[in-house]
């Protein structure tokens, strides 16, 4: 069988060789003819493969995007041969063929300028459309940032067109192309929000470490809203701080509900995990800080390790102000303000009265307890209008005898001054991109101010209490100062109790804030060698003194520190 198979294979091979002979000859002939045609085509292309610039003035042709274009009829000639161009020119444009060379040159230049202007027009139209879209996005972003209605976009466009028609009427068409309808603004804001969320997701994946700040409040519809802020840092010390999400808590607001909302925000909205989470700050509510069922305790149980937890410094500062018990003052002030503004007719008459008397302000303002800066603003306005208010209320049936009580007025003046100082501290603690060192420095500075206030008040010096100094009689300064020094002492004790760090916490912060000032023996053992090497470098020490803390740590070599 092996022999027969070999025979059959040999026969098949012989038959194959016999049949291949005439086919091979035919193929060779075909290949030869193809090669001749190819050589001929290459020869033709080599004759006119490059456009001659002289043909522009001679036949009114030019090159646009590697294509030979007739300047007159805008037709394209495939082969860049002079014969093709001449035939097209003499056949389709006989009226121009009789022009002399100079006239052809002028005509070619005129047609070329027209072509360039058309090209620039379409390019400019594209740029104007892109610019109009960009402006539409920018205006929509500002509408969202200020909390305005989506329909404000149409009003803004009308204002722009009105201004443009008077200032530069020739540019009106450009501004008409800006789309700011209600649906467009809504769509733009949704696109911006989606883009920001995608950017945050991308940055969150690059975080080496991150922390969360969580606050729960209730909106006007009695729905609990949980705000989750994230601050992260990558390997290059680029810090990102952004609102990660707002979770609506429809039912109860227990620690478990809050913990589940935090987990959902991080894992779903940010598409991240808790591997690099190192710290968490809350408003200090029991549902947040409970040792067993608080949100922080449940979150630490969920991720399987402990976190660095903080009670928000601003919340603690507000709680410190509660020790000043001047409810007898604020109750009367709020009652008078509500009385003046409760009825529309009375409110209008009161504002007219202030206008007639040329008062410093034109109206009083409501007090909102949940707004931390509200009390100082209400007191400032009320004290400035106190005399006018007393005169206006003399004709009213409801009387407020406290307005004529000297002791009550002194308390009012002191409360106005001290709440102004507390407001200044609160504002310093607010804002983005602030480190804990900045917040603690502001708090420690305020503690020193309180000590100064106490010392001066005991001596009857009211220089840092301008309202008291101006409105309290000189002979009452010492008695009033000693009276209010006790209130300042309460503030000092409360700030010390709430906002004083332990020795260990101070050391940890000092290592980061100023590693050149710590004793290497006091720092943890795994950092001692690095601290010594760092303190021995004059270059790094000078960099620390001259640059920001973030820039300083950015310049450190990763292989050494």
Confidence of residue 558 (pLDDT cuts 50, 70, 90): confident
Which pair of structure tokens corresponds to residue 317?
Answer: 């500062």
Residue 212 β-bridge partners: 230, 280
Q: What is the mean pLDDT of residues 241-259?
A: 88
pLDDT tens, residue by residue, 310-321? 888 998 998 898
Which pair of structure tokens corresponds to residue 36?
Answer: 């001749």
Which position has the higher pLDDT, 488 or 235? 488
Which pair of structure tokens corresponds to residue 188?
Answer: 């733009």
The answer to whether residue 460 is domain-embedded is: yes
- First-to-last alpha carbon distance for the chain, in angstroms, is 81
Contact 389, 333 (CB under 8 A): no
Specify the number of domains making up the chain.
6
pLDDT at 367: 84
pLDDT at 11: 34
The answer to whether residue 146 is domain-embedded is: yes
Report the percentage of the chain scoring pLDDT > 70.
89
Residues 172 and 234 in one domain: no
pLDDT tens, residue by residue, 162-217? 888 888 888 788 788 888 899 999 999 999 989 988 999 999 989 999 999 999 88
The residue range of the domain holding 547 is 503-555
Calpha distance 552→546 (Å, rounded): 9
Which pair of structure tokens corresponds to residue 422?
Answer: 């507390």
Calpha distance 461→119 (Å, rounded): 78
Q: What is the mean pLDDT of residues 28-36?
A: 45
Q: What is the pTM of this model?
A: 0.70
pLDDT at 120: 63
pLDDT tens, residue by residue, 201-213? 999 989 999 999 9
pLDDT at 8: 31
Residues 154 and 189 in one domain: yes
Lowest mean pLDDT among 45-54, 70-79, 249-258: 45-54
The answer to whether residue 197 is domain-embedded is: yes
Residues 28 and 74 in one domain: no
Residues 137 and 81 in one domain: no
pLDDT at 176: 84
Residues 341 and 451 in one domain: yes
The answer to whether residue 560 is domain-embedded is: no
**Cα 433 off chain centre by:** 11
Report the percentage of the chain scoring pLDDT > 90.
35
Residues 295 and 341 in one domain: no
Residues 185 and 105 in one domain: yes
- Residue in the structure block whose two tokens are 């310049």: 555
Q: What is the mean pLDDT of residues 341-352?
A: 90
**Cα 360 off chain centre by:** 37
């Amino acid at each position: 069988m092996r022999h027969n198979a070999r025979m059959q294979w040999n026969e098949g091979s012989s038959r194959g060789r016999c049949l291949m002979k005439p086919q091979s000859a035919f193929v060779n002939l075909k290949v030869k003819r193809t090669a001749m045609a190819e050589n001929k085509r290459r020869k033709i292309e080599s004759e006119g493969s490059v456009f001659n610039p002289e043909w522009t003035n001679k036949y009114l042709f030019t090159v646009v995007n590697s294509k030979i274009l007739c300047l007159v009829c805008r037709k394209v000639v495939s082969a860049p041969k002079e014969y093709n161009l001449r035939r097209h020119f003499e056949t389709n444009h006989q009226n121009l063929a009789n022009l002399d060379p100079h006239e052809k040159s002028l005509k070619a230049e005129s047609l070329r300028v027209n072509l360039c202007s058309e090209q620039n027009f379409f390019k400019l139209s594209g740029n104007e459309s892109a610019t109009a879209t960009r402006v539409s996005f920018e205006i929509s972003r500002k509408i969202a940032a200020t909390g305005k209605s989506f329909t404000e976009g149409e009003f803004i466009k009308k204002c722009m067109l009105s201004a443009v028609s008077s200032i530069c009427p020739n540019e009106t068409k450009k501004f008409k192309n800006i789309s700011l309808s209600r649906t467009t603004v809504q769509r733009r804001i949704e696109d911006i929000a989606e883009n920001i969320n995608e950017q945050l997701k991308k940055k969150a994946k690059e975080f080496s470490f991150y922390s969360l700040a969580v606050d729960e409040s209730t909106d006007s519809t009695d729905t609990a809203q949980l705000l989750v802020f994230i601050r992260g840092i990558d390997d290059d010390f680029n810090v990102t701080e952004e609102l990660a999400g707002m979770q609506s808590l429809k039912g109860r607001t227990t620690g478990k509900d809050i913990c589940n909302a935090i987990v959902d925000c991080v894992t779903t909205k940010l598409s991240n995990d808790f591997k690099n989470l190192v710290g968490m700050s809350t408003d200090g509510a029991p549902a947040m800080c409970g040792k067993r069922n608080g949100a922080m305790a449940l979150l630490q149980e969920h991720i399987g390790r402990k976190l660095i937890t903080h009670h928000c410094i601003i919340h603690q500062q507000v709680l410190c102000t509660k020790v000043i018990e001047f409810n007898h003052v604020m109750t009367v002030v709020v009652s008078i303000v509500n009385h003046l503004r409760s009825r529309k007719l009375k409110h209008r008459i009161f504002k007219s009265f202030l206008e007639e008397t040329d008062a410093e302000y034109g109206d009083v303002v409501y007090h909102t307890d949940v707004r931390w800066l509200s009390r100082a603003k209400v007191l400032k306005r009320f004290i400035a209008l106190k005399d006018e208010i007393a005169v206006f209320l003399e004709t009213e049936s409801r009387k407020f005898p406290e307005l004529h009580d000297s002791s009550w007025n002194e308390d009012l003046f002191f409360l106005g001054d001290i709440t102004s100082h507390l407001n200044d501290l609160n504002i310093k603690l607010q804002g983005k991109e602030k480190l804990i060192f900045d917040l603690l420095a502001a708090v420690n500075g305020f503690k020193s101010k309180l000590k100064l206030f106490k010392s001066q008040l005991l001596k009857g010096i009211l220089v840092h209490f301008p309202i008291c100094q101006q409105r309290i009689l000189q002979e009452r300064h010492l008695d009033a100062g000693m009276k209010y020094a006790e209130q300042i002492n309460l503030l000092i004790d409360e700030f010390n109790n709430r906002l004083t760090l332990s020795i260990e916490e101070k050391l940890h912060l000092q290592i980061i804030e100023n590693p050149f000032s710590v004793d290497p023996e006091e720092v943890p053992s795994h950092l001692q060698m690095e601290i010594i090497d760092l303190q021995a470098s004059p270059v790094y020490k000078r960099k620390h003194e001259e640059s920001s803390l973030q820039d300083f740590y950015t310049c450190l070599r990763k292989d050494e520190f």
